Chain A
């Protein structure tokens, strides 16, 4: 791989040990993936923030970097933490877990990383430009930025994204290059796509089928908002490894793509119904969680609307970023949800929080991504349904 003089100095250790290690990782990855050079990046999003995800090995790794004075060279945001960073005590997050989590946050902060803790950085102040090269790692955010914004990022691992932030560059390969961004499946959707969970169910089916392919959707309603597109991409990234998709009439570069001769997958009402069934293995949730990926203000408002004047008998969390939470506070949504017996939980989500340690056994969700992860990672039974059904379950 071609390296500039500055990049060679980084690799030779002239800018310190951490920069050298980061460059070694990135150039090795670049060689593997046949990048011809490194390219500057406009922003980074780092996954692997929850203590539950990274454990002691991750914590030690991050503290080692921080203690050596590592500093990021581009706008860098973080994935959700394992708890609400301000209200963890109130919500019953375990204290020893909280201490380790705070050490992780401090390590990131000292490297100059914005300690936002969200899987939707694009809703919280890290919004890439059309065709901007970035290095993001949260799989749903990678899908959103590549597809809905048409920025360019590979699915980075947590450490490779951190390394990219610390040197301000990433190897130029795969989804950074236009020739690797062509669709290889057409998905014809012929179903009522109303609820966010419909998009999650569709994403679950398509991700499972195309694996790491690039699907091109036709038939999605042209008024589908970004909340629904975020749900679709998140589910495909969880059930498969989809990092890029196109939506006819919906995503910026779809009209530039040639879909002639591609394998066609048809998804109708029957397939969607089967997906709802496949994603459900429990009944009567003791916890309902909305906000995977993190809820937008509009989604929080929808929950508040449906809960206004009601009292729920089980736990209900709305997971979101601190930024959206503050707007929700100001709009009165937080109070409405609290009066009904629910909570807005910021900085974290049910997948990376230790909910199994908190006594929950069955979780109700409207997210295809969460439905895929909760059984393995949180030992939960799952009820996958739309928002109305979930709320009726806990009334």
Chain B
């Protein structure tokens, strides 16, 4: 299945989906040294985002989250790409600075954890694609 969305941060990635039905708070929610989700009672608590294509509706919580998204990218403990229903400023900033391919406007209910995804977010196009392989 091929879905079209809006390019937030350009790049391409292929990998396994890790889907959160709930918003993610990066600051205090993910340990950037390891990539492990540490927010208590979060659906992804204890899971590792490293090397995954992280799929979630939108970010929540502290705006320091941008540095966490950036740090996850720089330390290579973060996701290969991000797919959102709606990307807000926290993730967009971190993703652009950290060169994490990011697309939003995707119906994330169609994606299941473990699905193999291909994300294409072209540099000079507003429209990107997410393909379930």
Closest A residue to B62 by CB, please name it. A139
CB of B11 to closest CB in A, whole Å = 13
CA gap between A281 and B75 in the complex, in Å: 33
CA gap between A142 and B88 in the complex, in Å: 15
Report B-chain residues with C-beta under 8 Å of the C-beta of A138.
63
CA gap between A181 and B67 in the complex, in Å: 27
* Given contact pairs A160-B93, A238-B61, A55 touches B39 in the complex (Cβ within 8 A): no
CB of A210 to closest CB in B, whole Å = 11
CB of B50 to closest CB in A, whole Å = 15
Of A29, A47, A58, A373, the contact of B96 (CB 8 Å cutoff): A29
Most chain B CB within a 10 A radius of its CB, from A55, A154, A241, A375: A241
Q: Does B70 contact A (CB under 8 A)?
A: yes
Q: Does A309 contact B (CB under 8 A)?
A: no
Instruction: Establish whether residues A373 and B28, one from each chain, have CB atoms under 8 Å apart when the complex forms.
Output: yes
Of B23, B92, B94, B96, the contact of A241 (CB 8 Å cutoff): B23
Instruction: Establish whether residues A28 and B63, one from each chain, have CB atoms under 8 Å apart when the complex forms.
Output: no
Q: How many A-B residue pairs have CB under 8 A?
A: 118
Q: Does A364 contact B (CB under 8 A)?
A: no
Instruction: Establish whether residues B67 and A376, one from each chain, have CB atoms under 8 Å apart when the complex forms.
Output: no
Q: Does A97 contact B (CB under 8 A)?
A: no
Report B-chain residues with C-beta under 8 Å of the C-beta of A84.
none
Q: Does A53 contact B (CB under 8 A)?
A: yes
Most chain B CB within a 10 A radius of its CB, from A57, A138, A157: A157
Q: Does A54 contact B (CB under 8 A)?
A: yes
Instruction: Establish whether residues B64 and A48, one from each chain, have CB atoms under 8 Å apart when the complex forms.
Output: yes
Q: Does A133 contact B (CB under 8 A)?
A: no
Which chain B residues in 20-45 approach chain A with CB under 8 Å?
23, 25, 27-29, 32-33, 38-40
CA gap between A137 and B67 in the complex, in Å: 12
Instruction: Establish whether residues A241 and B39, one from each chain, have CB atoms under 8 Å apart when the complex forms.
Output: no
Closest B residue to A28 by CB, please name it. B96
Q: Does B58 contact A (CB under 8 A)?
A: yes
Report A-chain residues with C-beta under 8 Å of the C-beta of B87.
32
Of B29, B33, B61, B71, the contact of A58 (CB 8 Å cutoff): B71
Instruction: Establish whether residues A53 and B67, one from each chain, have CB atoms under 8 Å apart when the complex forms.
Output: yes
Of A28, A79, A157, the contact of B66 (CB 8 Å cutoff): A157
Which chain B residues in 84-122 approach chain A with CB under 8 Å?
87-90, 92-94, 96-97
Q: Does A219 contact B (CB under 8 A)?
A: no
Q: How many residues of A contact B (CB 8 A)?
A: 40
Contact with B along A226-244 (1 / 0, CB 8 A): 0000000000011111000
Instruction: Establish whether residues B63 and A57, one from each chain, have CB atoms under 8 Å apart when the complex forms.
Output: no
Instruction: Establish whether residues A160 and B67, one from each chain, have CB atoms under 8 Å apart when the complex forms.
Output: no
Instruction: Establish whether residues B29 and A157, one from each chain, have CB atoms under 8 Å apart when the complex forms.
Output: no
Closest B residue to A138 by CB, please name it. B63
Report A-chain residues with C-beta under 8 Å of the C-beta of B79.
none
Closest 7 CB pairs of A and B: A157-B66, A377-B28, A157-B93, A57-B71, A376-B28, A137-B63, A160-B93
Q: Does A25 contact B (CB under 8 A)?
A: yes
Instruction: Establish whether residues B88 and A241, one from each chain, have CB atoms under 8 Å apart when the complex forms.
Output: yes
User: Residues of B with Cβ closer than 8 Å to A?
Assistant: 6-9, 23, 25, 27-29, 32-33, 38-40, 58-68, 70-71, 74-75, 87-90, 92-94, 96-97, 126
Report A-chain residues with C-beta under 8 Å of the C-beta of B92.
29, 32-33, 157
Report A-chain residues with C-beta under 8 Å of the C-beta of B59.
241
CA gap between A61 and B58 in the complex, in Å: 25
Of A53, A211, A375, the contact of B27 (CB 8 Å cutoff): A53
CA gap between A57 and B92 in the complex, in Å: 17
Q: Does A156 contact B (CB under 8 A)?
A: yes
Instruction: Establish whether residues A54 and B67, one from each chain, have CB atoms under 8 Å apart when the complex forms.
Output: yes
CA gap between A137 and B63 in the complex, in Å: 6
Contact with B along A187-231 (1 / 0, CB 8 A): 000000000000000000000000110000000000000000000
Contact with B along A128-142 (1 / 0, CB 8 A): 000000000111001
CA gap between A47 and B68 in the complex, in Å: 12
Which chain A residues in 14-38 approach chain B with CB under 8 Å?
25, 28-29, 31-33
Other A-B contacts than A158-B93, A376-B28, 9 sampled, CB-CB below 8 A, are A31-B126, A47-B62, A55-B32, A57-B67, A58-B70, A139-B61, A157-B67, A159-B94, A376-B39
Instruction: Establish whether residues A241 and B66, one from each chain, have CB atoms under 8 Å apart when the complex forms.
Output: no
Instruction: Establish whether residues A157 and B71, one from each chain, have CB atoms under 8 Å apart when the complex forms.
Output: no
CA gap between A376 and B31 in the complex, in Å: 9
Closest A residue to B45 by CB, please name it. A376
Instruction: Establish whether residues B60 and A212, one from each chain, have CB atoms under 8 Å apart when the complex forms.
Output: yes
Instruction: Establish whether residues A241 and B58, one from each chain, have CB atoms under 8 Å apart when the complex forms.
Output: yes
Q: Does A155 contact B (CB under 8 A)?
A: yes
* Given contact pairs A29-B92, A158-B63, A376 touches B29 in the complex (Cβ within 8 A): yes
Report B-chain residues with C-beta under 8 Å of the C-beta of A137.
63-64
CA gap between A240 and B32 in the complex, in Å: 21
